[in-house]
Amino acid sequence: MTDEFTTDIYYDDDADVSTLDDETVAVLGYGSQGHAHALNLHDSGVDVVVGLREDSASRSAAEADGLTVTTPADAVSQASYVSVLVPDTVQADVYENAIEPNLEAGDTLQFAHGLNIHYNQIQPPEGVDVTMVAPKSPGHLVRRNYENDEGTPGLLAIYQDTTGDAQERALAYAKAIGCARAGVIETTFQEEVESDLFGEQAVLCGGVTALVKHGYEALVDAGYSPEIAYFECLNELKLIVDLMYEGGNMEMWNSVSDTAEYGGLTRGDRIVDDHVRENMDEVLEEIQNGEFTREWILENQAGRPSYSQLRQAEQEHEIEDVGARLRELFAWADDETETEAESAEVAADD
Ligand SMILES: NC(=O)C1=CN([C@@H]2O[C@H](COP(=O)(O)OP(=O)(O)OC[C@H]3O[C@@H](n4cnc5c(N)ncnc54)[C@H](O)[C@@H]3O)[C@@H](O)[C@H]2O)C=CC1
Ligand SMILES: CC(=O)[C@](C)(O)C(=O)O
Ligand SMILES: [Mg+2]
Ligand SMILES: [Mg+2]
């Protein structure tokens, strides 16, 4: 563990996967996170059973991957460690119908996102440990990094420690899925939920795609070709962010031209200005006061009308078609099979 920072960060040497030797881990769900956790745990020598509905399209993938698959209720009844990796919006229902009836004293109930616990959608019983191991990465990269002998940073939180060794078991789990290779930061359910919801809304998913689309539209509306706009504002973003990922903003600044560096440093704050920060603070407030979660729960209860409409509009944005056609022309495109994300998306939709 390092104490260089304000939080405790744990690494492989701080955890022992053999802690789980006598445990059976039920992984409920086999989508983005579920398939990664189940396969990484399995490859780390942990006894895993996957819990999926009888009609789930994910079943064939999990069985083809050599994993034992059963229903969520049966998986929980077999397990002493339950990892809830179904969508946030169905967790309360799965908990009520499959988990709670089969949970036993001394079991671990674990999440990869704290929303349902923090916003009181699930009230766990006394007598069980309630933990969180939350990878800071999309699931298919949690798997890819593990297979490449790398890892993804993760957050670890203990909501309830009845047995006295909740943290030891959660750390063993985090190591088994590869997070301790990169660092496991101790936090709380509240801090994980609020920072994760904010990050995905304001920066990683919402903010960045809005920036890309506005940049694309500004160029195309000014008469530049869609192909140039796509390569400039979307494709090259990965290459830029790769440098930031490897060595911080300065590695990127050191690699781009002086012209780009001067232009970026002088104009960047005009594009993402104080008004954007005010909007960020407003979005964070909606997360902290529960407004976002209430809205998301009501949206699902209504059958996702806005979600479906927004997703359709996103799919129909010109940049999607231009990008798909350009990616097909990449010299290596013929080698591509269905991407992991696409296969995880299929699994998630069932
Ligand atoms: N997607 C990501 O990369 C990340 C997700 N998380 C968290 O991980 C958890 C799982 O999310 P994802 O992996 O994105 O889910 P997903 O949508 O990719 O996959 C959901 C899986 O659950 C199954 N499923 C759906 N409804 C079900 C039901 N009623 N009963 C049983 N199985 C059902 C689906 O067949 C699928 O296998 C969530 O709490 C999420 O917030 C945390 C970090 C990152
Ligand atoms: C991949 C991830 O960390 C997210 C954006 O928080 C999520 O998928 O919920
Ligand atoms: Mg996240
Ligand atoms: Mg998230």
Query: Which residues, in sequence order, are CB contacts of 190 under 8 Å at separation 6+?
Result: 114, 118
Instruction: Please check whether residues 147 and 290 belong to one and the same domain.
Output: no
Query: Which residues, in sequence order, are CB contacts of 261 under 8 Å at separation 6+?
Result: 253
Instruction: Please check whether residues 212 and 278 belong to one and the same domain.
Output: yes
Domain stops at, among 155, 187, 219: 187
Residue 314 to residues 106, 238, 258, 310, 348, Cα–Cα distance (Å): 45, 19, 35, 6, 18
pLDDT of amino acid 7: 84
Instruction: Please check whether residues 182 and 210 belong to one and the same domain.
Output: no
Q: Is residue 2 part of a domain?
A: no
Residue 41 to residues 70, 90, 172, 322, Cα–Cα distance (Å): 17, 24, 10, 39
Q: Which atom of ligand 2 is nearest to the CA of 139?
A: 1
Q: How far apart are CA 295 and CA 13, in angstroms?
A: 42
Instruction: Please check whether residues 338 and 218 belong to one and the same domain.
Output: yes
Q: Is residue 117 part of a domain?
A: yes
- The pick from 37, 85, 89, 205 for probing ligand 1's pocket by mutation, whose C-beta has the most ligand atoms within 8 angstroms, reads 85
* For helices 139-147 and 340-349, angle between their N-to-C axes, nearest 10 degrees: 140
Domain stops at, among 163, 187, 211: 187
The yes-or-no answer on residue 113 being catalytic is yes
Instruction: Please check whether residues 175 and 203 belong to one and the same domain.
Output: no
Q: Is residue 3 part of a domain?
A: no
Q: Is residue 297 part of a domain?
A: yes
Domain stops at, among 135, 162, 187: 187
Under DSSP, is residue 20 helix (H, G, I), strand (E, B) or coil?
helix
CATH number at residue 24: 3.40.50.720
Ligand 1 neighbours (beta carbon < 6 A): 29-34, 52-53, 56, 58, 72, 85-88, 90, 94, 112-113, 134-135, 138-139, 344, 347-348, 350
Q: Is residue 306 part of a domain?
A: yes
Instruction: Please check whether residues 146 and 244 belong to one and the same domain.
Output: no
Instruction: Please check whether residues 168 and 238 belong to one and the same domain.
Output: no
Instruction: Please check whether residues 167 and 83 belong to one and the same domain.
Output: yes
Q: Which atom of ligand 1 is nearest to the CA of 350?
A: 35
Q: Is residue 294 part of a domain?
A: yes
Q: Is residue 88 part of a domain?
A: yes
pLDDT of amino acid 6: 81
Q: Is residue 4 part of a domain?
A: no
Instruction: Please check whether residues 212 and 326 belong to one and the same domain.
Output: yes
Instruction: Please check whether residues 260 and 333 belong to one and the same domain.
Output: yes
Low-confidence ranges of the chain (pLDDT < 70): 335-350
The catalytic residue among 35, 37, 42, 113 is: 113
Residues flanking ion ligand 4, Cβ below 5 Å = 196, 200
Domain range spanning residue 135? 9-187
Instruction: Please check whether residues 47 and 151 belong to one and the same domain.
Output: yes
Give the total number of structural domains in the chain.
Answer: 2
Instruction: Please check whether residues 315 and 178 belong to one and the same domain.
Output: no
Q: Residue 310's Cα: distance from chain center in Å?
A: 20
Closest CA relative to residue 70, chosen from 54, 47, 87:
54
